[in-house]
Amino acid sequence: MPDRLRARLSSLSSHGFLSPDQWRRRVLFWTGAVIVGLAAVLFAQAADWAFAGFRAMASHGWWVPFLLTPATFALLSWLTQGALKATRGSGIPQAIAALKVEEDPFRERLLALRVAVGKMGLTLAALLGGASVGREGPTVHVGAGLLYSLGRRFGFDDPTSAGRFILAGSAAGLAAAFNTPLAGVVFAIEEMSGTFEHRMSGTLLTAVIIAGVVSLGILGNYSYFGIIAADLPLGRAWLAVLLTGVVGGLAGGLFARLIIPSARGFRGVMGRLRGRQPVVFAAACGLALVLLSLMSANGLYGTGYAQAQAILQGHSDTGPLFGVLKFLGNIASSWAGIPGGIFSPALAVGAGLGENVAHLLPGANTQAVVLLGMAAYLSGVTQAPLTASVISLELTANHAMALPILAACLLARAVSSVLCPVPVYKALANALIDAHEASKRDVSGSVAGQGEPGSTDDQDLHQNGAIRND
């Protein structure tokens, strides 16, 4: 064998395609993606069963939610006061924060295997109690935690490698949760990391594809909301783009503004109330959700998937106020601090608002306007227009609406940023990071003889001015 060829093979074995270390990493990514896909499918099925359980209990009388929902909110608030504190909220801010802070104790606290398992269990408990929450954000958290734990278990615990496992797990989780592989990739680029490292591209794509194939193999080739054959011809009908973009942006930006913790104004007052009596405050939020549900024909409980699908397919009896009421119900669930995401509930709000806008445009295709409302509101909440556009297109298997949806999402993002300058997931992640840094400073001050170390509690995020750009 020529020396040059031998040297080339040696180089490939040590650092390139044939490297044993690289192959071990790839096998772990592929195995982890399969696990994330299976977990997402199991989570989706269990979420449906949990909410069906709530519906069965609620069917025994109008009074059942008055007892069940506030009690569930209070119990979840109490359970998440200690070791399961990281399970609160949607889970996407935790994954983003862990990606930004390359410290093992911080990442372990947010993404440990017990947190991933607890996230699934407590989110299911929230749906069993009728909370207005989704499972997609928690699936992202679970995916990040599973791949992170798997990488650490097999020796890939350096900060850079761990970050790649977190990113791939997050993207695979979203792809499997919605059965939308392309949305998983866009989400990783736009929302999670903000960049796309060249060396990471193949690994990330492979993980997303594998997780998507697992979901596809078990659940079949389906669209989340069914196949929606709607279009929006260029012309007067495009007024719907302007209206849904502005309405979705304003409503989405207001929602994000209200759920981001602050030390000032109305949110500061709510944060202090929650900080003093978190369990009682959570029960009050549950009661508010029940009272709001009495004003809606089908209630505001659960993910809102069924209502959004009915509105989108044109046979809904939710009533004209569903979008506004679901908006308020989502705020009540978010303020309670219980585990659960905002993706599916946001799509339900957007569908309701889109239906309202459609009544103002009798010449436009109602399904098309509702779809625009869903995408625009999701973009307004997350300020991630590409992710919102791709999710909306993949959820409905509709490519004819690509341009109007993208236009509405970009407009909604611009309008939302006026009300909420910092995207909601980034702001919540910053709050976690700031609380972590404050805790480190307190510990350093204690070591230096300047006092006792302070505790980093989730309530502090609502009281200590953790959001830098508020």
Structure tokens at 275: 């900080």
- Residue 206 in domain: yes
- Residue 332 in domain: yes
Domain boundary among 373, 392, 419: 419
- Determine the Cα–Cα distance for residues 424 and 428; give it in Å rounded to an integer: 6
Same domain? For 314 and 382 the reply is yes
Same domain? For 193 and 286 the reply is no
Cβ-contact 326, 352 below 8 angstroms: yes
Same domain? For 157 and 303 the reply is no
- Residue 438 in domain: no
**Integer angstrom CA distances of residue 42 from 52, 177, 338:** 15, 10, 21
**What digits encode the pLDDT tens for the residues 400-451?**
788 899 999 999 999 999 999 999 999 999 999 998 888 877 766 655 554 4
Let me know if 237 is exposed, middle or buried by CB neighbors in 10 A (0-12, 13-18, 19+).
middle
Same domain? For 213 and 242 the reply is no
- Determine the Cα–Cα distance for residues 183 and 140; give it in Å rounded to an integer: 12
Same domain? For 284 and 188 the reply is no
Q: Maximum CA pair distance of the chain?
A: 84
- Residue 39 in domain: yes
- Residue 452 in domain: no
Cβ-contact 322, 349 below 8 angstroms: no
- Residue 277 in domain: yes
Cβ-contact 327, 129 below 8 angstroms: no
Same domain? For 187 and 285 the reply is no
Domain with 160 in it: what CATH number?
1.10.3080.10
- Residue 109 in domain: yes
Same domain? For 367 and 392 the reply is yes
464 pLDDT band, cuts 50/70/90, is very low
Strand-pair partners of 339: 89
* Element containing residue 70 per DSSP (H, E): helix 64-79
More confident residue, 10 or 399: 399
Q: Is the pLDDT of residue 200 over 70?
A: no
Same domain? For 214 and 245 the reply is no
- Residue 468 in domain: no
DSSP string covering 252-289, please? HHHHHHHHS--SSHHHHHHHHHHHH-HHHHHHHHHHHH
Domain boundary among 419, 434, 465: 419
| Residue 155: how many other CB atoms lie within 10 Å | 12
Same domain? For 254 and 190 the reply is no
**What digits encode the pLDDT tens for the residues 267-324?**
777 778 888 899 999 999 999 999 999 998 778 999 998 899 889 888 777 888 999 9
What was the pLDDT predicted at 270?
Answer: 78
Same domain? For 369 and 265 the reply is yes
Count of residues for the chain? Answer: 470
- Determine the Cα–Cα distance for residues 75 and 103; give it in Å rounded to an integer: 31
* Domains contained in the chain, number: 2
| Residue 190: how many other CB atoms lie within 10 Å | 19
- Determine the Cα–Cα distance for residues 120 and 166; give it in Å rounded to an integer: 17
Name the one residue in this structure whose structure tokens are 């998983």: 184
Which residue range(s) make up the domain with 250? 236-419
More confident residue, 456 or 143: 143
- Determine the Cα–Cα distance for residues 68 and 72; give it in Å rounded to an integer: 6
**What digits encode the pLDDT tens for the residues 340-356?**
999 999 999 999 999 99
470 pLDDT band, cuts 50/70/90, is very low
Name the one residue in this structure whose structure tokens are 């996407």: 92
What value, to the nearest 5°, has the Cα angle with vertex 332 and ends 106 and 352? 115
Same domain? For 270 and 213 the reply is no
Burial 60-97 (b: 16+ CB within 10 A, else e): eeeebbeebbbebbbbbbebbeeebbbbbbbbbbbbbb
Q: Is the pLDDT of residue 223 over 60?
A: no
Same domain? For 284 and 413 the reply is yes
Domain boundary among 172, 191, 219: 219
